[in-house]
Amino acid sequence: MRSPDQLAVVIPVYNESWEVAARTVAAVHAAFAGQGGSPRVVVVDDGSRAEFQLEKLSDRDDCILVRHELNRGYGAALKTGVLATDAPYIAIIDADGTYPVDQLPVLWGMMDYQDMVVGVRTGEVSQIPLLRRMPKWCLNRFASYMARRPIPDLNSGMRIFSRELCYYLWGLFPNGFSFTSTITMGALLGGFRVRNQPINYFKRIGSSSIHPIKDTIRFFNIVARLGLLFTPMRFFLPLAILLGTAGFAKGVMDYRHQGSLGNLSVTLMIAGLQVLLMGYIADLIVHSRALGRRGP
């Protein structure tokens, strides 16, 4: 098992009190006590208001405080935290009390043969707000279809991943909440080794900055974009079949009623063929790019 000294724990903070962040930092170190080392803990203040007094963390010797002058987003905070150390492995966790910090060593113990271990929120306690459960279920189903394997929790905010995986996907990471969705989809579609570990999920301390409708639409867009980047036929083929089938059915009806094909039926069948050809071209581009990365 690797030493925890090889791990950096990044904790993004936005408008959380310094006491809450300090408790999370202390909990991380307590979780790894007796593990033969201690991870480096990076707290990223993403432009919090002065009243939260996060500057007090700069006086502590058990964490590194990095600050954004203005709020740049969850993903931007994580990227800043990743660049703040040279640790080969990165853990991320929120400071709001929703994730079980004491389970970080469990996830870390699984990293010997993985590129990423995700804490999926399917434990005995799962206090996900009702307003987010249905969009989350639909998003996970859509992501599972695009990735061709079950994804129980696309955007869990508690996970450990290698720096190699992170840098492989670096150019795709957005500055917003879609960082976790992107690394999940990118790792699976890119052929990296990913393992899921059930964890509990508790009611958060304070108010959430997630916008259920806007951020859910953004998550769906990220999944579709990554699917097009890695497995475009999973997107184009069903659409081509749908258009072609609709055109064929309309053509049969037209021929039975008027003895010829109508404009709409021909248009739909041609559109289906065009979409299919677009899918083939996109698939060829993906495969040629993959061949170009191979060594001799």
Q: Residue 240: is it exposed, middle or buried by C-beta count within 10 angstroms (0-12/13-18/19+)?
A: buried
- Per cent of the chain over pLDDT 90 is 47
Q: Which of the pair, 125 or 141, is modelled with greater confidence?
A: 141
Residue 289: pLDDT above 60? no
Question: What integer pLDDT is reported at residue 133 of this predicted model?
Answer: 66
Question: What integer pLDDT is reported at residue 190 of this predicted model?
Answer: 85
Whether the Cβ atoms of residue 8 and residue 81 lie closer than 8 Å to each other: yes
Residue 129: pLDDT above 60? no
Residue 120: pLDDT above 80? yes
Tokens of 115: 């590129």
- List b or e across 139-148, with b for residues whose CB sees 16 or more CB atoms inside 10 angstroms: bbebbbbbbe
How does pLDDT run across 86-101, given as a tens digit for each residue? Answer: 999 999 999 888 899 9
- Measure the CA–CA gap between 102 and 28, rounded to whole angstroms: 7
What HEC string does 227-253 produce?
HHHHCCHHHHHHHHHHHHHHHHHHHHH
Tokens of 31: 């979780």
Question: What integer pLDDT is reported at residue 81 of this predicted model?
Answer: 96
How does pLDDT run across 58-71, given as a tens digit for each residue? Answer: 888 899 999 999 99
Residue 287: pLDDT above 70? no
Question: What integer pLDDT is reported at residue 228 of this predicted model?
Answer: 80
Q: Specify which residues 126 forms β-bridges with.
A: 201
Question: Please, which pLDDT band fits residue 248 given cuts at 50, 70 and 90?
Answer: very high
Torsion of CA 238, 244, 248, 254, to 10 degrees: 120
By three-state DSSP, how is residue 13 classified? Answer: strand
How does pLDDT run across 192-240, given as a tens digit for each residue? Answer: 999 999 998 877 555 555 555 666 777 777 777 777 877 888 889 999 9
